[in-house]
Amino acid sequence: MPMKPLFLILTSILLATTLARAAEKRPNIIFVMADDMGWGQTGYRGHPVLKTPNLDAMAANGLRFDRFYAGSPVCSPTRASVLTGRSPDRTGVLTHGDALRRQEKTIAQALKTAGYVTGHFGKWHLNGYRGPGAPILRDDPMSPGTFGFDEWVSVTNFYDQNPLMSRQGEITEFKGDSSDIVVDEALKFIEKHCAGDQPVFTVIWYGTPHSPFRALPEDKAAFAALDAASADHYGELVALDRSVGVLRAKLREWGIADNTLVMFNSDNGGLPKIQPETVGGLRGFKGTTFEGGIRVPAIMEWPAVIQPRVTSYPACTMDLFPTVADILGLPREVMVQPVDGKSLKPLLTQEMGPRQQALPFRYGSKAAWVDDDYKLVTEDLKKDQFMLYDLKQDPQETHDLSAETPERFAAMKAAFLKWNEAADASFAGKDYPEGRVSPPDPESLAWYESEAYRPYIEGWKNRWEYQSYLNGSPKGKGKKAKKED
C-alpha cells in the first residue's frame, strides 16, 4: 500500500479513537450565541475597525466555520433550531416572539436525562413575549425550566447595561455590561458543578450587539470617528469579545478546557445602517434569506478532539443537537422527527466532503435551499420566483444561474417545494403523537400588555430600557414592540 494513503488511514483511526475517548468522558458542553452579529464582524475576517482578539484566539485553536448558517434570519426561530435540531417552522416558531411548543424535545431535556446539569443564561425569547427583555416570571409556563434547564438567569428578549434579570423567578438588578454579566453568571454555574460527577451543559445567549446600542465609554473609545449608533454597536462587540476571553480563561484555570466543547455563533445575520458594514460584503442583512441574513460567524473549540483548522463545509444551528446526540450516543428518540440537521461529528476530526443533506430556510414569504455549493432563494414564495446561485464562485449572489442550468434549477426547486409541504405538515402538528398541536400555540404579545406583568409596570416605567414602551400610548407601544425582536 502506498505510504500516503496508509498514513491517512492511520491518522483517521487515531483521530476517531481520540474522539471516542473524549466522548466516553462526557465533555462539558457550552453553547454561546451572539444577538445580531454579522458574518463580517470579527478580527479574523479582517474587519477594518473591530478587534476581536479572544474570538480570534478561539478560532485559531478550534474549528472555524466559514459557511455556517443561523436557522433563520431572525432570532427566536434560530433559538428554536438550536434547541430542537429542526427547522423552526416545524416547531411553531415562525418569527420573533413566538413560543416554542412544549411538544418539542430539546437538547437540554436530552442532556438532563443523560446525566448533565443544565443551565441557561441570558436571552430566551421562546416564551411568546415581544418587547425589550424583561425578567422571566417564576410561573411562566414557557420558561427555560419547562424545556429542561435546571438553573437559569434569563430575560424574555434583548438586554443591555444594568439589566433586570430573573434567577429562576427571583428578579435581580445587575450592574455593568450585559456580556460581562451573563458570562459571570454562567461561570458561577460551571464552577459550582464542574468538580462533581455530572458534566455541565451551559447555554449563554447574549443580548449583544442588538439594539438599543449602549456600550461602556471605554469599550467604544476606539470608535470615536463613527456615528453614535455604530460606535455603541461596535463597543458592545468589544465587551462580548472580552467576555469570551474570560470564559475561555476560566475553563483553562479550572483544568476543564480540554474536554469542554464550546460552540460560538450568532443568531442571524448582521444589521443594516451600521458602519463599517456588518456582513463582510455578502448580500442582504438580518431579515433576508440572502447570505448576509443567514450566514454567521461560528467557531467550535474542543481541544481534546479538534485540530485547529478552517472549514468551508456548510453547517447550521440545526446541526448542533444531532452532533451532540451523536457524540454521546443518544438514541434517535431524543429528538422529534424529522430533524433537518445532521451530525457534524465526523467533521470534528476531518473534512466531510460535499454536504448531502440540504439546508432549508423559510421566513415569512422568503425562503432558501442550500444544497452544498448551490443555493435556491426566493424573496416571495407566493410569486413562485426563484433564483439560483453558485456560492463557491459567487458568494455575493450576483449572478442568477436559473436559466443557464435549468436541470439543476428544476431539481432543487422540486426538492425545496417537497420539503416546504412537509414543513407545513409539521407546523400543523403532524409530527407529534397526538397528530395535532396541543395545547394550541399562544398568541404572541408584548409582555407589558399581559396581565402577568401588570404588577411590575409602575416600578419599571422609568428604567431607560423600558421608558419608550411603558410611557407611550398602548397602540404605539404595540407597534414598536412588534418591530423590535
Q: Is position 194 annotated as part of the catalytic site?
A: no
Q: Could you tell me which of 80, 88, 74, 168 has the C-alpha nearest to residue 121?
A: 168
What are 171's strand-pairing partners? 166
Return the HEC string of the chain: CCHHHHHHHHHHHHHHHHHHHHHHCCCEEEEEEECCCCCCCCHHHCCCCCCCHHHHHHHHCCEEEEEEECCCCCHHHHHHHHHHCCCHHHHCCCCCCCECCCCCCCHHHHHHHCCCEEEEEEECCCECEECCCCECCCCCCCCHHHHCCCEEEEECCCCCCCCEEEECCEEEECCCCHHHHHHHHHHHHHHHHHCCCCCEEEEEECCCCCCCCCCCHHHHHHHCCCCHHHHHHHHHHHHHHHHHHHHHHHHHHCCCCCCEEEEEEECCCCCCCCCCCCCCCCCCCCCCCCHHHHEEEEEEECCCCCCCEEECCCEEHHHHHHHHHHHHCCCHHHCCCCCCCCCCHHHHCCCCCCCCCCEEEEECCEEEEEECCEEEEECCHHHCCCEEEECCCCCCCCCCCCCCCHHHHHHHHHHHHHHHHHHHHHHCCCCCCCCCCCCCCCCCEEHHHCHHHHHHHHHHCCCCCCHHHHCCCHHHHHHHHHHCC
Distance CA 422, CA 360 (A): 11
Q: Active-site residue among 96, 120, 125, 193? A: 125
Residue 284 has φ and ψ, to the nearest 5°, of: 85, 170
- Cβ(83)–Cβ(108) under 8 Å? yes
Q: Active-site residue among 47, 75, 96, 210? A: 75
CA distances from 390 to 83, 317, 337, 405, 460 (A): 30, 22, 30, 11, 51
Distance CA 35, CA 101 (A): 22
Q: Is position 47 annotated as part of the catalytic site?
A: no
Catalytic residues: 75, 125
